[in-house]
Structure formats: structure tokens, C-alpha cells
Amino acid sequence: MRYKVQTNNNNKITNLITKLQVALCLVLFLYPTGFTFALTRSQINDQTNQAQDQKNQAQQDQVTLGNELDVFDGQISQIQLQIGLTQAEIDKKNTEIVNINNQIAQTELDLLKQRNLMNEYLKTIYIEGQTSTIEMIATSNSFSDFVNQSEYLSAMQQNVQDTANKILSLKMDLEENKKDLILNKAKTEQLKVEQVSKQQSIEALRSAKASTISQKSAQVSTLNDQIRLLRGLKADDDPVPVYSGGSSSGNSGNSNGYPWAGVGFPSYVSDNWGFYLRQCTSYAAWMSASRGPVDGATLRHWGTGHPGNANGGQWADRAIEDGFKVSSTPTANSIMVFPAWRVGDVGHVAYVDSANGDTVHITEYNWDLLGNPNERTISASYWAGMFITK
């Protein structure tokens, strides 16, 4: 009994472990890779950067695979051209074979005619052969007529035989040429089979590459969703969100020559890039157009239809879509994007003048919600900032 009790306990433990494994698999299945709970800001940043790196690699793979597709397309076009030339050669040989068959048929008719002539001459010679030489001389007008008649019959017989021999020789030559043509045609047809097989192999490889590109595209889409999810995730060690004006250090009022500093606020007039004047987006766009990373043409695309605010993480999303890098690593001459959960639903963007580790010096507009310029030295990780760079 003790043994059985021990066995039952082991079975219960085994069943419990199995259930836990199944539950773990369900969790991993239901949530994307890298998505976990109760993360610190540093962990969120690390996972965001990791997802961004994976996305960049997937996009690079798409470019590489696209180049390979171009090579395959070139090879397929070349093989199709070769197949066309090979088929033209096959058609030519078919025509030559038909012509030779016609010539052979004609030589057979010519041989038949010569045989008929030969039969007629043989009949004549036979009849003449039944007549004695004395009778032939007696029936001839002269001895010379007899000689001429004999020579004529002999010459005609030889002529018919020579003609027949030539026609027969021609027929044999034609038959030999026909054999060569049939052999060459068979080789050409085999070449076409090999070319078609090669084309099918390349097309199969191309199809596989195209399928991989589709998979990479789906991967990029999934990673985009994961990046957006991570950016909007509140960290376990984040402070309570606040949205207040003023400077963390330094002084306020540095506009860096922003040309619309004197315009009345609030202003519903758009700047050169489609953002409302004296808003944080307008200032960041003006600085970026002057110093980078984002050029004016791209900023105009971003500003169309979005003139009021930073709309949370939309600037980062647009940057990624247009090929710019977005990471949690502070960089000088970059655009810092504040997450909506950290500063309010409208979001916020600023320009990074300098960066030293986690510490960044930024200039901005409308941090005080009164449309004024401001500059601060702050902690990038504290504000959960994302940085747009080239």
C-alpha cells in the first residue's frame, strides 16, 4: 500500500507539472515575444530597442531579398529568351525535315520514271535481240544505219542507268541528311527541356524568396505593433505622471531664433511644415529642418492634418515609417518624443541640443502651455523619452 500511495503522489505531481507547462505555453502563445508585466523603465527601453533592431534587420532582409528577386527575374528573362531561340531552331529543323521528305518523295518518283524507261528499253532491246544480225542488216537501209541503231540502243540504256544511279545517290544523301536533322532536332528538344526545367527551378526559388519577403513584411508589422505597445507601457518604477511648466535646470526663454516667437498665442496659423505656431511641434520641426535629423519635405508630410500637437507617439511612428531611427538612446541634434502617458494626452516633443549619457539638454516650446520657449537639462529615462535620429 505504501508503494501505491507513493505512486499516486508522483502521478499527482507529474499532472501538476504538466498543467503548469500547458499554462505557460498558453501564456507564451497569447502574448507576443518580449511582452511581460511589471517591467522597469530600463527593461522597457531594452525591449523596445531589441524590437527595433529586429525590425531594422527584417527590413534589411526585405531589401536583400528584393535584390535577389531582381536577379531571379533577370535570369528567368534570359532563359525565356534562350527557350524562344531554341524553339525557333526546332521549328527550323522541322521545316528542313519536311523539305527533305518532299525531296525524297520526288526522287522516288524520278526513280520510278527511270525504271519505267528502263523497262521500255529493255523490252526494245529484247525484241531487237530476237532479230538476227542478218535480218537487222537486211532491214536497215545501209550498214551505217545498222551500226547507228545498235549504238543508239546501247547509249540510251547506259543513259537511263546513269540517271537512275544519280537519282538513287541523291536519295541516299537526302536520307542521310534527314537522319542528321532528326538527331540534331532531338538534341535541341532535349536542350529546351533542360532550359524549361532550369526556368522552373529558378521560379521555385523566386517564389520561396517572395514568400519569405511576405513573412518579413508580416514580421515588421508585428514588431511595429510590439514597439507601439512597449512605448505606451507604463513602467513599474515610473513616477506619477505630471505635466507642469518650468525648467529642471538652466533658464527659460531661449528660442534659438525661432522666427514666430512674437506671434500671438494660441495661434491657429500653420508654419512652413503644417504645425501651429508656438506649439512644441512647430519649434521641433523648425529646429530639425535647420539642423536635422528630419528634413523639411518629410516634416511637411508629418504636419499635414496634424497641426495641433505631438499626438502621443505618432511622431515616432511616422519617423519609423519614413526610415528614421527611433530608440531610447539620447543623441545630440535629435528630436525627443515624450510619451502621452508621461505628459498628457497631447504628448510633447523637444529638440536635443546635447546629450551626455542619460542626461540631455533640450530646448522646446509650450512646455508651460502658454506658448513660451523653454530649455531644460533632464533625465531621458525619467521622462521615458524616445529619440528620432537619422
pLDDT at 251 over 90: no
Nearest to 50 by CA among 67, 35, 28: 35
Q: How far apart are CA 74 and CA 82, in angstroms?
A: 12
* pLDDT band for position 225 (cuts 50, 70, 90): confident
pLDDT value at residue 245: 37
pLDDT band for position 365 (cuts 50, 70, 90): very high
Q: Does residue 10 surpass a pLDDT of 50?
A: no
What is the C-alpha to C-alpha distance for residues 190 and 45, in angstroms, rounded to an integer?
Answer: 61
The whole-number average pLDDT for the span 54-63 is 90
Model confidence band, residue 321 (pLDDT cutoffs 50, 70, 90)? confident
Q: Are 350 and 280 in contact (CB under 8 A)?
A: yes
- pLDDT bin (cut points 50, 70, 90) of residue 375 is very high
In tens, the pLDDT along 301-316 reads 887 655 445 665 578 8
Side chain identity, residue 200: Q
Which grid cell is 205? 526559388
Instruction: Find out whether the peptide bond into 266 is cis, omega within 30 degrees of 0.
Output: yes
Secondary structure string (H, E, C) spanning the chain: CHHHHHHHHHHHHHHHHHHHHHHHHHHHHHCCCCCCCCCCHHHHHHHHHHHHHHHHHHHHHHHHHHHHHHHHHHHHHHHHHHHHHHHHHHHHHHHHHHHHHHHHHHHHHHHHHHHHHHHHHHHHHHHHHHCCHHHHHHHCCCHHHHHHHHHHHHHHHHHHHHHHHHHHHHHHHHHHHHHHHHHHHHHHHHHHHHHHHHHHHHHHHHHHHHHHHHHHHHHHHHHHHHHHHHHCCCCCCCCCCCCCCCCCCCCCCCCCCCCCCCCCCCCCCECCCCCECCCHHHHHHHHHHHHCCCCHHHHHHHHCCCCCCCCCCHHHHHHHHCCCEEECCCCCCEEEEECHHHHCCCCEEEEEEEEECCEEEEEEECCCCCCCEEEEEEECCCCCCEEEEC
Band (pLDDT 50/70/90 cuts) for residue 318 is confident
Rounded to whole angstroms, the Cα distance separating 161 from 359 reads 114
75 close to 229: Cβ distance less than 8 angstroms: no
Q: What torsion, rounded to 10 degrees, do the Cα atoms 77, 78, 82, 87 define?
A: 0
| CA 281/CA 311 separation, integer angstroms | 10
Residue 117 in this model has a pLDDT that exceeds 80: no
pLDDT > 50? residue 250: no
Give mean pLDDT, residues 66-88: 91
Side-chain half-sphere CA neighbours of 103 within 13 A: 18
**Architecture of domain 280-389 in this structure:** Alpha-Beta Complex (3.90)
Q: What is the per-residue pLDDT for 284?
A: 94
Which of 23-27, 112-116, 171-175, 271-275 is most confident?
271-275
pTM for this predicted structure: 0.45
Query: For residue 63, which amino acid is it?
Result: V
334-338/325-327 β-pairing:
unpaired
Mean pLDDT of 366-389: 90
Please state, rounded to an integer, the average pLDDT across all residues of the chain.
Answer: 77
Strands 348-356 and 386-389 turn out to be unpaired
Q: Report residue 356's pLDDT band, with 50, 70 and 90 as the boundaries.
A: very high
* Structural domain spans, the chain: 2-30, 44-231, 280-389
Task: Return the CATH architecture of domain 44-231.
Answer: Orthogonal Bundle (1.10)
Beta bridge partners of 352: 334, 362
